[in-house]
């Protein structure tokens, strides 16, 4: 049995996953703006109250990044309260179990390769497109997290040299163009109105998606721009590592063809080399559980 924690800018989830990759228990909390560790501790308490906790042998954590796997610290761009926060040590102290930490995109890649859309594939980029954009790589049939645990962090590839400033400090990163946060902000800036009314600053990508399905041109254009940035990043990664497929999960991927339709079309424009043009794009198969199953897969991979 593996304990798993999935940390994002919007929510934190924890679960228990068995050796077959089945999620047996799941708990979730919103990510607090201050003191995020309180939510983690609440979730751990809920897990430790589960009957199956007694069988847990280790904890896997997939966190929004960047992280430092060697030091066990996290500094997520979308969780401002954590900078060089010793998350692995805090969780180890609370649980008494060994902890493996990686970026959330790396964890998602591990999970999708174990039980999802990347299963059986040798060379794949897996992406999380949500509040931010993360990624992880399967190369030669193995997870490749890199020494820091951040390898494949495709969200901070620059796809627009003079693009908008990114929270990381650079400009034109995939994240600042393609994330759910960016989709909503761009639609609002172009004059889109929330169907439900209320403050424009609270608009979500899911609301923009609803408008896009109804044919709203501003909403459709915002999703198209997101898809174009993702296509450029996928094509660039394919040129670098020679891969066969990209798997995309996260909240924005739930929009389905609103994202995947234009993404596949834009990929044809960017992936023009003989060894990149056949790269295929697939939705993640594990849905909202990808982060937890992936965090468990991190521990499983260490054990193997």
Shared-domain flag, residues 72 and 146: no
Q: What does pTM read for this prediction? A: 0.89
User: What sections of 169-289 are H helices per DSSP?
Assistant: 174-178, 180-189, 205-213, 217-241, 257-270
Cis amide prior to 284 (ω within 30 degrees): no
Query: What is the average pLDDT across 1-14?
Result: 93
Closest by Cα among 291, 271, 293, 292 to 280? 271
Alpha carbon distance 184, 206 (integer Å)? 8
- What CATH number is given to the structural domain containing 267? 3.30.420.40
Domain range for 33: 2-108+288-303
Shared-domain flag, residues 270 and 299: no
State the pLDDT at residue 65.
85
State the pLDDT at residue 27.
96
State the pLDDT at residue 304.
41
**Number of residues that make up the chain:** 304
Distance of CA 153 to the CA centre of its chain: 9
Task: Tell me the pLDDT tens digit for each residue of 254-277.
Answer: 999 999 999 999 999 999 999 999
Q: For CA atoms 93, 95, 98, 100, give the dihedral sign.
A: negative
Shared-domain flag, residues 131 and 271: yes
Shared-domain flag, residues 126 and 256: yes
Alpha carbon distance 120, 139 (integer Å)? 12
Shared-domain flag, residues 104 and 234: no
Mean of the per-residue pLDDT values of the chain = 93
Number of domains in the chain: 2
Shared-domain flag, residues 255 and 160: yes
* The pairing of beta strand 67-68 with beta strand 73-74: antiparallel
Shared-domain flag, residues 126 and 64: no
Per the domain annotation, does 116 fall within a domain? no
């Amino acid at each position: 049995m593996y304990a798993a924690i999935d940390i994002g800018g919007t929510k934190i989830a924890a679960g228990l996953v068995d050796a077959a990759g089945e999620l047996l228990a799941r708990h979730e909390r919103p990510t607090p703006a201050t003191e995020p560790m309180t939510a983690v501790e609440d979730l751990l308490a809920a897990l430790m109250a589960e009957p199956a906790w007694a069988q847990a042998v280790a904890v896997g954590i997939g966190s929004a990044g960047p992280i430092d796997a060697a030091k066990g610290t996290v500094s997520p761009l979308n969780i401002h309260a954590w900078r060089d926060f010793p998350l692995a040590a805090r969780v180890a102290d609370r649980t008494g179990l060994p902890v493996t930490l990686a970026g959330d995109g790396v964890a998602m890649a591990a999970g999708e390769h174990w039980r999802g859309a990347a299963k059986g594939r040798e060379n794949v980029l897996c992406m999380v497109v949500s509040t931010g954009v993360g990624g992880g790589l399967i190369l030669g049939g193995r997870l490749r997290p890199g020494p820091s645990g951040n390898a494949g962090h495709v969200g901070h590839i620059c796809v627009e040299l003079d693009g908008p400033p990114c929270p990381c400090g650079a400009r034109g990163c995939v994240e600042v163009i393609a994330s759910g946060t960016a989709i909503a902000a761009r639609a609002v800036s172009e004059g889109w109105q929330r169907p439900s009314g209320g403050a424009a600053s609270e608009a979500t990508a899911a609301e923009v998606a609803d408008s896009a399905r109804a044919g709203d041109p501003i909403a459709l254009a915002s999703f198209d721009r997101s898809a174009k940035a993702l296509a450029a990043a996928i094509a660039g990664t394919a040129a670098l590592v020679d891969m066969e497929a990209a798997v995309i999960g996260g909240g924005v991927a739930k929009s389905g063809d609103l994202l995947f339709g234009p993404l596949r079309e834009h990929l044809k424009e960017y992936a023009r080399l003989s060894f990149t043009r056949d790269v295929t794009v697939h939705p993640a198969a594990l849905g909202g559980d990808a982060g937890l199953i992936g965090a468990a897969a991190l521990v499983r991979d260490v054990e193997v």
